[in-house]
Amino acid sequence: MARRRAVGPRRSTDAGRERPGPGRAFSLAAPRFQMKLALRDRTLDLAEPVVMGVLNVTPDSFSDGGLYAGVDAAVARGERMAEEGAAIVDVGGESTRPGAAPVTAEEEIRRVVPVIERLVARIRAAVSVDTSKPEVMRAAVAAGASMVNDVRALRLPGALEAAAGCGVAVCLMHMQGEPATMQVRPDYARVVAEVREFLASRARACAAAGIARERICVDPGIGFGKTPAHNLALLANLAALGADGLPVLVGVSRKSLVGIITGRAPEDRLAGSVAFAALAVAQGASIVRAHDVAATLDAVRVAIALRRAGTGDS
């Protein structure tokens, strides 16, 4: 009688080996994530994935820095994203690209608040603020933002309390290190397991602070303290990353991962970005964060159609 080989937990520093089992990679079967996200002023239906538009009102973001630093240009861009089908427009006033220098809360507020105020008055899409600072969160919510998207997962002093007190939805992102140094030597034993546990622990911290479960989504932080192999392992295992079934937000748009694979500059990474958007949805992403809303929404719709066909819902 053949002996059964004992199977124990794998431990490897090679992130590229941490993959789903046979037949699971890029499955079109819909994972069981939470199908709604409660924002401050509405509930976002996630039965079908949606697109979040990236609106950087900064002079130094990696892809569009300086293009929308003026209020009029930023508002026009946000309106265009809403017209193209963005469910959320995410306004950020501080670049978090690798090596980015921090800005003060006062400067961040000066950049984002006028844009948020005007967008809330003009578009039907929800408006979120991309920030880690509690002062900016409060100012943005007072201006009309209904969600906080935080690359530090509400870990700065006072951030958790600010988000809880504002009654908004939150996106908790994983980042190893800080923007200035995060890409120096990213290191994990098992990247998928470690990122999942971090997101689950931050979701528990939110619950303890009084943030309702239906207000929480999570983001693996593609490109934030990860090598290309780490990023690909996470994207191939999104179904494992929804901490306790929470919605997963993914942002790969124009990032260096796309450039490494395709050899293209940020402004020429549309095709690679929308390919990743479709594959992320196939793997279970509920929200796709993107610079190019119309093209990304097309890719998301294609992935949804295939998923329906695969599950017999068509």
CATH number of the domain that 155 lies in?
3.20.20.20
Domain assignment present for 281? yes
**Entry pTM:** 0.86
Q: What is the pLDDT of residue 198?
A: 95
DSSP state of 5: P
Given the residues 118, 269, 289, 307, select the one marked as catalytic: 289
- Rg over alpha carbons for the chain, rounded to the nearest Å, is 19
* Rounded distance between C-alpha atoms, residue 295 and residue 314, angstroms: 23
Q: What is the pLDDT of residue 95?
A: 84
Name the residue with tokens 């002093």: 157
- Name the token pair of 279: 């594959």
Domain assignment present for 31? no
Amino acid identity at 314? S
Amino acid identity at 110? R
Number of residues assigned to the chain: 314
Provide the angle, in degrees to the nearest 10, between the axes of the packed helices 105-122 and 134-143. 20
Quick check: 148 and 164 in contact, CB under 8 A?
A: no
Domain assignment present for 95? yes
Give the structural domain span for 240.
50-311
pLDDT tens over the chain, length 314 residues: 444 333 333 333 444 444 443 333 444 444 556 689 999 999 999 999 999 999 999 874 445 445 656 899 999 999 999 999 999 999 999 988 777 778 999 999 999 999 999 999 999 999 999 999 999 999 999 999 999 999 999 999 999 999 999 999 999 999 987 877 777 788 899 999 999 999 999 999 999 999 999 999 999 999 999 999 999 999 999 989 876 789 999 999 999 999 999 999 998 999 999 999 999 999 999 999 999 999 999 999 999 999 888 776 65
Domain assignment present for 60? yes
Q: What is the pLDDT of residue 243?
A: 61
Nearest residue to 49 via CA among 242, 256, 192:
242
DSSP state of 172: E
Structural domains in the chain (count): 1
Active site residue 264: no
Domain assignment present for 59? yes
What residues pair up with 205 in beta bridges, in sequence order? none
Domain assignment present for 272? yes
Taking residue 12's Cβ as centre, other Cβ atoms within 10 Å add up to 12
Domain assignment present for 195? yes
Domain assignment present for 20? no
Q: What is the pLDDT of residue 105?
A: 96
Given the residues 138, 226, 255, 307, select the one marked as catalytic: 255
Active site residue 254: no
